[in-house]
Chains A and B, each alone.
Chain A
């Protein structure tokens, strides 16, 4: 069967009808056929030296990433922020493309933006900001930020902060929500006080089992009585040494859009638990039931469900630790390397929610062979780890650089996100970067 290239180009065919494109391009043994191989090479802009290893049904990374065909990415232009990619402008949601995440410590301008509601205006006197701790405590606390700074010991830690939906765009069928690639992650140095110290000052009653967090952003519907988002964590996570109430980041004030003057950082867990503009922590005697806690929001199936099927909320559990993920940060997708390049030095980061990363591997031949990366240690628990690796490119042509990490429990990343769920959590497919070595 020949390519009907006159009918329409491979690129258009892949765009419009990927299944048919695959049927046309791949033979039964799953190898690219001669003329089809040339056509695919043309579609990606170069010969594909490792085409013999390309799995059937495989869509080259060069074709599979970036803005949908016919649309163009919107780039954020905001004071104090780098060129983040806007996923939605009301509420404002913007991700940091992988290649802007090369710093070991994420600078403020590269911290991604996720809003659930209408962000509050900046306050003129941050030290008078008040936080209430109530519910299952012996003494209800009303603390100003100024008092908090005086009363409790400050801590500074590099901490991952990642949106629960990071990686969602790779789900098929499409999962509902912001279509993040891998850019809803930051690893900044946050300064604050331990939530644990504040809870202990309030005195937890034996009935305290969960927290409920509130901030000053408002619901999009305009209903002032409805929080934009109000999630929480089990007391054990709230009492964890690294869970902090932060008032500074990277040695200076928190950007307003990232939650100034006060926010929680619950590292390794979905960012929605790290309440921005936090003004109340309600200690609960049961699992918190605020906005964003029930149904299938920030939840994943217990028993795997059929992708696209109707969800049974009874089969869902709260997403706690984020999954293992790794990214290449020094080579942007779509980089044309210098002619004659035969080796490429890669670097990036890897992290795994509550766990550590024990191994990172990279491949330039569609996963036929893997090269172990040199993996650094985390600056502290919950900081991401930096890795480096060199990969050989035997000839000119089109390559994909793949990276996968394995966590301390032996869990790795797949080619596609598993465990489909309607709102698209836990999507941690391998990061793929397309590069071209000109002939």
Chain B
């Protein structure tokens, strides 16, 4: 896609038009493995999982090891990801399950920190 877009990183409050401060970037920077949490096999998992799509698609999820295995199966069966085997598969799943475990709701409070 040749269409270029830029995004601004805006504090949650800015969404509500009380902009705190926004850092506009010229263009999307290539992602680095450090966008993934630290852990054994992080770099390998990062490069594997961002070959086709951005890291957000992975980071937005929180799954058990079993459900990560199902996600990987979809990547292989439907989306042309090369099948992982043996240690490579184990380590990838270990990493994903540890780095992106099931999460409860995550909260951000629009009123908190707005006063004082």
Contact = CB atoms under 8 A, between A and B. Distances in A.
Q: Using C-beta atoms within 8 Å of the partner chain, give the interface range for chain A.
A: 35 or more
A11 B62 CA distance: 21
B1 A118 contact: yes
A172 B105 contact: yes
Nearest to B103: A174
B56 A11 contact: no
Given A89-B7, A221-B80, A62 B106 contact: no
A63 B109 contact: yes
B106 A44 contact: no
B80 A422 contact: no
Contacts, number: 168
Interface in B49-71: 51-54, 56-57, 60-64, 66-67, 70-71
Contacts of B10: 72-75
B60 A77 contact: no
A62 B10 CA distance: 18
B111 A45 contact: yes
Interface string A80-93: 00000111111110
Nearest to A66: B108
State the majority secondary structure of interface residues on A: loop
State the majority secondary structure of interface residues on B: loop
Interface stretch (B11-19, B40-48, B85-93): B11-19
A77 B24 contact: yes
B8 interface: yes
B29 to A, nearest CB: 11
Given A66-B108, A75-B10, A176 B52 contact: no
Interface residues of B, number: 53
A159 B28 CA distance: 33
Contact of A176 (B56, B61, B107, B111): B61
A59 B28 contact: no
A60 to B, nearest CB: 8
Contacts of A72: 9-12
A272 to B, nearest CB: 14
Given A77-B5, A90-B53, A178-B57, A221 B11 contact: no
Contacts of A226: 80
A73 B60 CA distance: 12
Given A11-B109, A89-B28, A45 B12 contact: no
Contact of B54 (A45, A89, A222, A334): A89
Contact of B7 (A17, A74, A121, A222): A74
A107 B44 CA distance: 43
Interface string A289-315: 001000101000000000010110000
Contacts of A176: 61, 63, 67, 71
A46 interface: yes
Given A97-B15, A173-B64, A336-B111, 7 more contacts: A17-B104, A67-B108, A74-B10, A75-B10, A88-B53, A172-B104, A334-B111
10 contacts: A18-B104, A45-B109, A66-B12, A68-B107, A74-B10, A86-B7, A89-B54, A92-B5, A120-B1, A257-B3
